[in-house]
Every structure is written in C-alpha cells, then in structure tokens.
Amino acid sequence: MELKHLPVIKSPADLKALSVDELPTVAAEIRHAICEQVKQTGGHLAPNLGVVELTIALHYVFDFGRDRLLFDVGHQCYPHKLLTGRYDKLNRLRKRDGMAGFPEPRESAYDLFSVGHAGTGVSTAVGMARGDLLAGEGFDPETNPDGRRTVALVGDASIVNGVAMEGLNNAGTLDRQFLVVLNDNGMSIAPPQGALAGYFDRVRVNPAYQSMKRAAKDVIAHLPGGSMIGEMYHRMGEMMKAAIAEDAWFEKFGLVTLGPIDGHDLPWLIDMLVEVRDFDRPLVLHVNTIKGKGYDFSEDDATTFHSPKPFTVEGCRVELQKSGRSFTAAFADALTDIMQRDEKVVTATAAMPDGTGLNKILPEFPDRSWDTGICESHAMDMMAGLAKTEWKPFFVVYSTFLQRAFDQAFQEVALQGLPVRLCLDRAGLVGGDGAVHHGFCDISILRIFPDSVLTAVMDEPSLQAALEFMRTYDRGISVVRYPRDNVSDRFSDEPCPPFELGKARPIIEHDQPDAAVLGYGVMTINAADAIDHLDGHGEYKVNVYDARFAKPVDIDLIRSLIERNVPIITVEDHTLTGGFGTCVIEAANNAGLDTSGITRLGLPESWIYQGSRSEQLEETGLDAESIARTIRAVLDAGESVPDVAINPGKPEATNVRRSSR
C-alpha cells in the first residue's frame, strides 16, 4: 500500500488540513503502517487497530497541543503517536531510540504521562482538570472559551478497575468541561470478566438503546448549530435527556452519558465530538469499536493479536514467530501438574490468562481457576479469602502489576498469616515494553512481611521444584519470580534437588575457589555463562550457586565463603535497593560477618527504556560478558576496586556496589 498522507503528517495541524472525506484514507494508511511494523517487531496490534478512527476524530476536533489527552490503557496509543509527528520512529517500534510502545513524555509533549498500567487515566485527568482550573486555564464556554479542555480515553475494559471507579466518582464533582471517552470493544486483553462487563454487553445489543441512539441522532440533525448537547441537556427536559443519556449507569456518578455510538463511523464521530467538546459538565461518550479492526485474523482472534510476536501473513494463513519454550509455558505445565495432583490448589489471574499461561488451565479446571479482569487488588483479596477457607491459592500476575495489590498483600494476606502463593511472571527486565513493565521491585516490597518466603528460578526443573515447595509452605506469603524469556537447558539434564527453605544449590563448585557468584534466578545461568567468557579462565576457580532464596538467604553458605576469605559477587535482575544482594549483606551483618568482600550486581536506580532484553542486560551490566568483567576486576584488583571500574568501558553504569569496611 502506498502511503499518501501519513508520511507528511508532522502534527495534528496537518491532519486538520485534510477534508473529512480524506480521513478514511488516513485511517487505512495508519492500519497498514502499524500492522506491517508489528509483523516485524511484535507489539500491541489489535488494541491499536481498534482505535484508529476514534483517535483521528479526537485529534481532528480537539487541539491537544493545548487541550489535555490522558490515556488510560497506554497500549492503544500508536495511532496517536503517528498523528503527532512520530511516523519516522515507527520503524524502530519498541527498540532503543525508536517509538516506545506506551505514551512517553520523553518523545513528545503530546504524551502527558508514561503509562502502562490500567485504570489511571480518569484520575490523572481529573487532577489536570483541577490544576488547569486553579491556574485560570481551564475551558469555560462563557468565561474562558480559549481554555484547556480535558479528555480521558479509556479502553480495553480498564473501566472495571477499582481506581477507574474512584476516578469516575470524583469526576462527577467537577464543575467544568470533562470528557471521558469509553472505548468499549467488548474485550480486555482477553474477554472481559465480571458483572460490569456483562452490563456493557447488554447495552451494546439492547434494541431499546439502539432506537434511542437513532432518536438522539435524529434530534441532533435538526437542532440549530452551537452547543447542541448543552441545549438539549439544560433546556429540553427529561425526555430528551433520556434520549441522549442512554447509559444511565454513569449517571450515578454524576456524569451525563451519550452513546453507545459507532467508533468506526468517522463523520458521525467527528459530529458528536464537536457537540460534546464545549459541554460544560463532565460527560461520558460511550463508543463501540472492534478490537483488531481492519484485518480478519486480528478481528477473529483479538486475544492472540493483542500483543503478538513478529508474524507473517500468507493469504489466509498467519504464523507467529516461534522462539523456543518460554518460562510462561513451562509454568503453565508445572501448575497444571500440581493442580492434577492436589485438588486443594486453586489459581487466578487479573486479565492476563494468555500472558501468564492460565489460558491453558482455565478450561481444564473451570471450578478452581478464575480470571478476575483488570482487578489485581480484588484478586489478591479473593486469594486471601480462599486461603482462609483452607484452599491453596496461587495468584499468577506480572511482577509490575503485583505492585497494584501491595496493600492487600499487607493487610489481608501477610497480616493474617495466610499462605497465598504469588507467581510473578515478567520479573526483571522485560524488553520492548520498557520502563512501565519492568519487574524491578518485587523483592524489596515483599521481603518486609513476616514469614514471607521469596524464591527465584533459573530453569524449568527449578520452576517445578519451586512450585512444589510453595504448595506445602503454609506459614505466610510465598513467591516465585521468573522472567519474560525462554528457559535455558544448560543444566536441565542434571538432577534438580527439591527446594529446601533457605538453601542454595551449587552449580559450579571448586574445593578452594578464588571467588563465588551467587545468582538469583536466571542470573545464575548468566553467571555460569560468564565463566566461559573469562580471559584465561583456567587461572580462575569461580564457584557459581543458584541462590534460590532471597528470604531467607543461605547464611551457612555465606558464612563459609566469608570465613574462607572468598570474595562474593551477587547477581540479580532486580534493583539493588532492597534486593537480593542487600538481603545477603544484611544477613551477613546480622551474623557478625565481615561484608567488605561482597560485590553486588543488579539494576541501577535509573529507568531502563525500551529495547531488547539482551540490550537491557548489557546496558545494566548483567549479561555474561559484563559479569565476567566484574569477576576479573574483583580478582585482579581486590577490594579497593572503585565502583565504575567493575564494568570497564561502561562509565555510566551505577549498578555495582561494593560494601565498604
């Protein structure tokens, strides 16, 4: 497809220069450009294909160089980015120095927040609306017609999130223009769950609503120009209000509601947005869209093509790139085995059945597995209730989304001494999704709870062993973390001993080592690979241990190494602050041991942006070659090695810390 308009749209002003009749061509070009790029790099496909016309209409009607546009689910932002001058970055989507997959203020002033978690858009929009009012910059049709308008674009079923509900509740108290555009595609990442999702299903298919939609459209067509929605609402009585405010559910929050309307009818969308643009009260525009719109394969299977790997299309055949066995797949098989053996085991995820592997478990155990929707806080509390009734709950969640349920982990789980088991997918560096999705702080936030046990796994056999350990641990929270990566088979042929509380597993061992590396999780594999990168490695005898536990650490091993004057290097794909290395130092210090020979490798206190996982590991000094450099520096220069010398050639690295005497 030859792109006529898209390459020359450098800002929304260029879009506004086009006629309405030309906009469908722009929509087709945007879909083509996004699909062709995601084929090559992977990325969020279906959610972006579904909002093309809606995004065009929003930028055609509003001026988001001045007005405020807040995204709730950031993964529906690709069309927005292409309309705000970033087409030249699309060919490096989710790569270093390319276009981030989520809104990113570093890229453009049109992106107000870096956002990758659902449920936040309405609340941040309320804050900006109030801020503009306080500054005298908020839009008012009478007193400040040139002021800033505020729009929150909500989608992919994130409206069911508790924070979104809190935002809606507060939005209803605003005395000014405030528009919530509800992109209702009948989907979350997977099919949405819960009573509210069912409510929206009924709204979409109810003939009464469709007839009211037609009635509203007819009324608008016959009204004179200027503030039509305002006139109807304020002057034309309850009957006309009912024709416009079709979805009375939002009225309970004090929000006038219009819709549902067709989110792919560009002229109608533009007409409606023109009318609601100047409305002086909080309003919801309910828009129906088709997730994956424009391609049969993505419309028919929007879950698979929500965020696919690179893929090819040959006629009617679509093939996703194969890249080995993932930790997610290994986890699904391991948990299936446990659920087959133990009928007390139950599990849940929060809107991520495909991403966590529970899509394989839900059909097999429909009475013992649940998808709660985008409700991590609720899911954690539900797990607490199941544990209280003597079931064995496993909550499967991305590390980055676990943060949303910290309070529930504290109050309803840890404080009660309940054995809820947390399975943290996407722990550590996640690659193309970048800073919004890195699982970099789960150790530091969970280790504070009494009786919590924190584990990490290096391969599939150790994942199986960790889950079996967690199945029988009943004193409190237990955790296993694993990355968005493929499982290594380097040590898979060796016997994998069961997990024993607070005990590490030797991987490479010498009787009189020159140094010892304690790897946490998959960093154990990188540490073992690092031995192969040591120059003159025959001169070095380096032990490598799979630490397994960050809480409790193997204090007997640490004591043995320190008392033999063996330098210790800890390696983790977690922030150094409160991470595994800190656990080692604190345990040694509590035991009265000298910690000056401990070197820590981990993530720095700086944001790591999008790129491949291998690039991010290299950037943070956690790839095998960088670990090898650290080992050489420790052995060759001794304890006086300054921080930056640990990673020669990487003066920007701040992720290495040596404990001082």
Q: Given a cut of 60, is residue 109 above it in pLDDT?
A: yes
Q: Which amino acid is at 482?
A: Y
Model confidence at 637, pLDDT cuts 50, 70, 90, reads low
Q: Give percent above pLDDT 90 in the chain.
A: 75
Question: 284 pLDDT exceeds 50?
Answer: yes
Q: Identify the CATH number of the domain defined by range 327-481.
A: 3.40.50.970
Q: What is the 3-state secondary structure (H, E, C) of 488-525?
A: CCCCCCCCCCCCCCCCCEEEECCCCCCEEEEECCCHHH
Mean pLDDT of 241-255: 62
pLDDT grade for 53, boundaries at 50, 70 and 90: very high
pLDDT score, position 657: 45
* pLDDT confidence band for 34 (50 / 70 / 90): very high
Whether 360 is catalytic is: no
Q: Above 50 in pLDDT, residue 264?
A: yes
User: Which residue, 523, 488, 524, is CA-closest to 506?
Assistant: 524
* Catalytic residue selected from 68, 94, 213, 291: 291
Taking the domains of the chain in order of start, what are their residue ranges? Answer: 6-288, 327-481, 506-658
Q: Reply yes or no on whether the pLDDT at 197 is more than 50.
A: no
The band of 161, judged by pLDDT with boundaries at 50, 70 and 90, is: confident
Q: What is the pLDDT of residue 652?
A: 38
Average pLDDT over residues 358-383: 96
Predicted local confidence at residue 254, as pLDDT: 85
The C-alpha atoms of residue 251 and residue 265 are separated, in whole angstroms, by: 25
Active site residue 214: no
Write down the CATH number for the domain with range 6-288.
Answer: 3.40.50.970
- At residue 647, φ and ψ (nearest 5 deg) are -120, 80
DSSP letters for 91-133: GGTTSTTS--SS--TTT-TT--S---STT-HHHHHHHHHHHHH
- Predicted local distance difference test score (pLDDT) of residue 187: 57
Whether residue 229 is predicted with pLDDT greater than 80 in this model: the reply is: no
The one-letter code for the residue type at 140 is D
What are the pLDDT digits (tens) for 418-454?
999 999 999 999 999 999 999 999 999 999 999 999 9
pLDDT at 638: 62
pLDDT at 533 over 50: yes
pLDDT of residue 59: 98
Q: For residues 447 and 467, give the distance between their C-alpha atoms in angstroms, rounded to a whole number.
A: 18
Question: Is 176 part of the annotated catalytic residue set?
Answer: no
* pLDDT tier, 97 (very low <50, low <70, confident <90, very high otherwise): confident
What is the arithmetic mean of pLDDT over 137-156? 94
Of the listed ranges 206-220, 493-507, 633-647, the one predicted with least confidence: 206-220
- Which helix (H) or strand (E) element contains residue 569? strand 568-575
CA distances from 61 to 145, 154, 655 (A): 15, 18, 47
The answer to whether domain 327-481 and domain 506-658 are alike in fold is: yes
Residue 70 has pLDDT above 60, yes or no: yes
List 86, 95, 148, 404, catalytic entry: 404
Q: Point out the least confidently predicted range of 33-47, 87-101, 196-210, 269-283.
A: 196-210
Per-residue pLDDT of 594-627, as tens digits, reads 999 999 999 999 999 999 999 999 999 999 999 9
3-state secondary structure 254-284: CCEEEEEEECCCHHHHHHHHHHHHCCCCEEE
| Spatial contact of 113 and 629, defined as CB atoms under 8 Å apart | no
Q: What per-residue confidence (pLDDT) applies to 1?
A: 86
**Reported confidence tier of residue 218, pLDDT bands at 50, 70, 90:** low
Mean pLDDT of all residues belonging to the chain: 88
CATH architecture of 506-658: 3-Layer(aba) Sandwich (3.40)
- Which is the catalytic residue, given 53, 275, 376, 572? 376
Confidence of residue 540 (pLDDT cuts 50, 70, 90): confident
